[in-house]
Amino acid sequence: MSEKFKTAAGYNPDLTRDCETALVVLLQAFGSLKTTLRLVGGLVPRYLTPARPPEIPPHAGTTDVDVVLNVSVLADSGVYDKLRRQLKDNGFVPYEPAPGKVSSWQWVYQLNGHPVRIEFLQNTDDPDQSGKLGTVDGEGVSAVQFLHAGVAHEWFHEHAVTTELPGGNGVVTEVVRFADVVAFMVLKTVAFHQRHEHKDVADLVHVMRYWGPIDDLASLYAQRQLNSPLRGILHEVLQLLEAHFCDSEDIEGWRKDGPAKFANFHQIGQPGSDEFVREQREVSSMVDYFIGRVREQFSSHSEP
């Protein structure tokens, strides 16, 4: 995964718009396979929680684009190598993490003087495989395995994005298929648990706060737990949220890494200040309330 900035100061709207433009170019590069792509990661809040100040403040943004591939579709003979040619023809080049070392799952698109990195992910339900490179067909396009990334194929929304292509190639509209709020929560919670990045928890808390009323979010989550074959994943995510945000036997929830890294990311006062601690407490309380409401609703609907 690409490096994340530790504070919101590292992100800005121009970089985020460039990521959106790169995503549109990527969709065009995939041609008829564009409908199989699912957007996850830091660009998703742009569509899940569109800014409407002061009720919904702008999201911090992103500097890269994370896309989940449907490997079963792309496994057809010749598809990977064809995609590699299409990506190069549309201006994407393989990322080089070190001189002479070329990545097959990370690609770069140069736009307005800076590189936008595209990262291809694929699903795994094995924690030991998460972060490892999946099957590579020759030297074509591959994807790194990410725990439960497949939820984005099950739960997603569509949004039409209109942007001007670089190089004077006109204005186009493409449909972006992105993780819905529950899928986003799953993937960001797992990401934070695995990587401990400030940006992951900032994205997660922003969406939980501003997607809609927290009771509506809890109701949707509980319904998915009741009706989806992925209920085990949703139960696991609640446990992870509890571990990082809520009271445990020895530690008050507000003191845990979730609330603290969120406050640090947004530089809300100095650590230990009244302002900083107040934010920690609010974040912990929100997550604790959400988990409680989910469990209440799940129990009430599952009782005979």
User: What's the pLDDT score for residue 91?
Assistant: 95
Cα separation, 268 vs 266, in Å, equals 5
Cα separation, 47 vs 160, in Å, equals 10
H-only helix segments in the chain: 13-30, 45-48, 71-74, 79-89, 151-154, 181-195, 198-210, 214-227, 231-245, 257-265, 274-302
Name the residue with higher pLDDT: 142 or 155.
155
- Kindly report the number of other CB atoms within 10 A of residue 3's CB atom: 11
User: What's the pLDDT score for residue 87?
Assistant: 92
CA 172 distance to own-chain centroid? 25
Cβ-contact 11, 76 below 8 angstroms: no
Residues near 165 by beta carbon (within 8 Å), at least 6 away in sequence: 21, 24, 25, 171, 172
Residues near 26 by beta carbon (within 8 Å), at least 6 away in sequence: 37, 65, 67, 87, 90, 92, 109, 118
Tell me the mean pLDDT in the region 140-157.
93
Which pLDDT band, with edges at 50, 70 and 90, does 49 fall under? very high
User: What's the pLDDT score for residue 1?
Assistant: 44
Tell me the mean pLDDT in the region 1-13.
83
Tell me the mean pLDDT in the region 213-227.
96
Which pLDDT band, with edges at 50, 70 and 90, does 77 fall under? low
Which pLDDT band, with edges at 50, 70 and 90, does 76 fall under? low
Lowest mean pLDDT among 132-136, 204-208, 247-251: 132-136
Which pLDDT band, with edges at 50, 70 and 90, does 7 fall under? very high
Residue 165 has pLDDT above 80, yes or no: yes
User: What's the pLDDT score for residue 98?
Assistant: 84
Residue 203 has pLDDT above 70, yes or no: yes
Spell out the domain ranges in the chain: 8-179, 213-302
Which pLDDT band, with edges at 50, 70 and 90, does 271 fall under? very high
User: What's the pLDDT score for residue 72?
Assistant: 79
Overall pTM > 0.85: yes
User: What's the pLDDT score for residue 102?
Assistant: 87
Cβ-contact 244, 221 below 8 angstroms: no
Residue 136 has pLDDT above 70, yes or no: no
Query: What's the mean per-residue pLDDT of the chain?
Result: 93
